[in-house]
């Protein structure tokens, strides 16, 4: 049997590699896939890790030569399927598809959610959107009276596809807001929003032609090298857990359906809704990602393999997918991860007290 030829864009990133690892541990697809990666190769580690048969260095999707190079790669490697990770690239493929099978996110939906401002404007009448304000750096520096959000507040860049807390700070006073505007000279316009102190959550949802197939909820507890970022957010979780929280899913699901209702499209593809709880413990939608996030491999390790489900859809084997929408996880599960190690998932976790030991299970 010939292997599935799969193109993975953004191949060197943590999330793309998590998708590949998830397929490599799938009982259905392990050993059956040949992965061809494309990337701008900013992170060269992914080139040499050994997950891909080949990794091509390509220009950004906006480059005039992008389409010609990608088409050549597809033709030379007889690519049948594609898994797309960088969000602007996801939108490009939705509007200008190549002749391979991929989960096509509706283009109108993608445009609505690609920036926080667009998402919040779209859902402004919902009670699960944070209070927010768009303000130029000149307005911030001019007068404190131009700021209409109470302290503490969250100040950040809100450009399309912005990730990992780029340009973000929890500001507790006007002096901190001014200093942040001065430091970030390259950002001309900021979003101010209410600071949300509660749990940092993610809800995976997989759709096929309007039908919800699977969902899963996770909590990000802390981040790798979080102390080196003033926001505390580096984009890569080093401690987290999988949750049985239907309320979080309900909020995320309503947000997705509300956006797609405004565009008049049929929902399709995999999206991950980020949420943060407010002081009362209510989940507030902060972002909708039109791609996997790195937590996908932890779900796969726990038996909820979104990469496998995605390939079952693409290969026309959706009937092999189990019918339940999600999986029930032990309440004491944990995900741990370090800079130079693969994520570890444990169904049952207890902290070790001083003087106690953990006996490795070989």
Q: What is the pLDDT of residue 155?
A: 94
Tokens of 358: 């953990």
Give the residue-averaged pLDDT of 33-58. 94
Give the least confident one: 41-55, 90-104, 132-146, 220-234. 220-234
Q: What is the pLDDT of residue 24?
A: 97
Q: At 361, is the pLDDT very low, low, confident or very high (cuts 50, 70, 90)?
A: low
Give the least confident one: 166-170, 189-193, 206-210, 232-236. 232-236
The answer to whether 239 and 225 are in contact (CB under 8 A) is: no
Q: What is the pLDDT of residue 342?
A: 76
User: Which residue from 35, 118, 134, 42 is spatially nearest to 82, judged by alpha carbons?
Assistant: 35
Which residues, at least 6 apart from 319, have a Cβ–Cβ distance to it below 8 Å?
A: none
Give the residue-averaged pLDDT of 128-145. 94
End-to-end CA distance of the chain: 34
- According to CATH, the topology of domain 4-102 is Rossmann fold (3.40.50)
The answer to whether 16 and 10 are in contact (CB under 8 A) is: yes
> What's CA 136's distance to the chain center, in Å?
27
Give the CA distances from residue 325 to residues 85, 190, 208, 305, 322, in Å, rounded to whole numbers and listed in that order. Answer: 23, 38, 13, 12, 8
Check pLDDT > 60 for residue 161: no
CA–CA dist 212, 269 (Å, integer)? 10
For residue 283, which phi and psi values (nearest 5 degrees)? -70, 130
Give the residue-averaged pLDDT of 287-312. 96
Give the residue-averaged pLDDT of 60-84. 97
> In whole numbers, what is the pLDDT of the chain averaged over residues?
92
Q: At 168, is the pLDDT very low, low, confident or very high (cuts 50, 70, 90)?
A: confident
Exposed, middle or buried by CB within 10 Å (0-12, 13-18, 19+), for 280? Answer: exposed
188, 190, 126, 172: CA torsion to nearest 10: -170
DSSP 271-312: EEEEEEE-TTS-EEEEEEESS--TTHHHHHHTT--HHHHHHH
> What's the pTM value of the predicted model, to 2 decimals?
0.92
Give the residue-averaged pLDDT of 22-44. 95
Domain residue spans of the chain: 4-102, 131-194, 198-346
Exposed, middle or buried by CB within 10 Å (0-12, 13-18, 19+), for 100? Answer: middle
**Residue 289 or 185, more confident:** 289
Question: Quick one: CATH architecture of 131-194?
Answer: 2-Layer Sandwich (3.30)
Q: At 186, is the pLDDT very low, low, confident or very high (cuts 50, 70, 90)?
A: confident
DSSP 162-217: --TTTT-EEE-SHHHHHHHHHH-TT--EEEEEE---S-EEEEEEEEETTEEEEEEE
Q: At 357, is the pLDDT very low, low, confident or very high (cuts 50, 70, 90)?
A: very low
For residue 135, which phi and psi values (nearest 5 degrees)? -145, 140
Tokens of 355: 């003087």
Say if domain 198-346 classifies as CATH 1.10.260.40.
Answer: no
CA–CA dist 69, 58 (Å, integer)? 7
Q: What is the pLDDT of residue 179?
A: 92
Which residues, at least 6 apart from 175, have a Cβ–Cβ distance to it below 8 Å?
A: none
């Amino acid at each position: 049997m010939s292997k599935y030829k799969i193109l993975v864009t953004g191949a060197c990133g943590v999330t793309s590699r998590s998708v590949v690892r998830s397929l490599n541990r799938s009982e259905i697809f392990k050993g059956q896939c040949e992965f061809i990666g494309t990337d701008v190769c900013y992170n060269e580690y992914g080139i040499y890790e050994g997950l891909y048969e080949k990794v091509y260095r390509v220009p950004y999707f906006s480059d005039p030569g992008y389409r010609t190079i990608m088409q050549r790669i597809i033709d030379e490697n007889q690519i049948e399927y594609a898994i797309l990770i960088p969000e602007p690239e996801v939108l490009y493929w939705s509007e200008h598809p190549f002749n391979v099978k991929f989960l096509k996110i509706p283009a109108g939906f993608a445009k609505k959610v690609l920036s926080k401002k667009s998402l919040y404007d779209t859902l402004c009448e919902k009670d699960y959107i944070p209070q927010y304000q768009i303000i130029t750096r000149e307005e911030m520096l001019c007068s404190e009276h131009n700021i209409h959000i109470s302290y503490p507040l969250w100040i950040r860049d809100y450009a399309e596809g912005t990730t990992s807390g780029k340009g973000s700070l929890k500001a507790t006073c006007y002096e901190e807001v001014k200093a942040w505007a001065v430091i970030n000279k390259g950002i001309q316009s900021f979003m101010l929003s209410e600071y949300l102190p509660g749990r940092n959550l993610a809800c995976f949802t997989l759709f096929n032609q309007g039908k919800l197939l699977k969902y899963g909820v996770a909590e990000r507890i802390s981040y790798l090298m979080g102390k080196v970022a003033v926001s505390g957010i580096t984009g890569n979780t080093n401690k987290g857990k999988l949750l049985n929280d239907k309320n979080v899913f309900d909020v995320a699901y309503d947000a997705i359906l509300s956006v797609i209702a405004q565009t008049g499209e049929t929902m399709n593809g995999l999206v991950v809704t980020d949420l943060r709880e407010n002081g009362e413990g209510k989940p507030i939608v902060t972002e909708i990602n039109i791609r996997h996030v790195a937590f996908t491999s932890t779900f796969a390790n726990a038996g909820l393999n979104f990469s496998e489900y995605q390939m079952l859809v693409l290969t026309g084997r959706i009937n092999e997918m189990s019918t339940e929408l999600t999986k029930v996880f032990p309440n004491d599960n944990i995900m741990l991860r370090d800079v130079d190690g693969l994520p570890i998932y444990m169904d049952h976790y207890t902290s070790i007290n001083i003087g106690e030991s953990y006996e490795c299970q070989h």
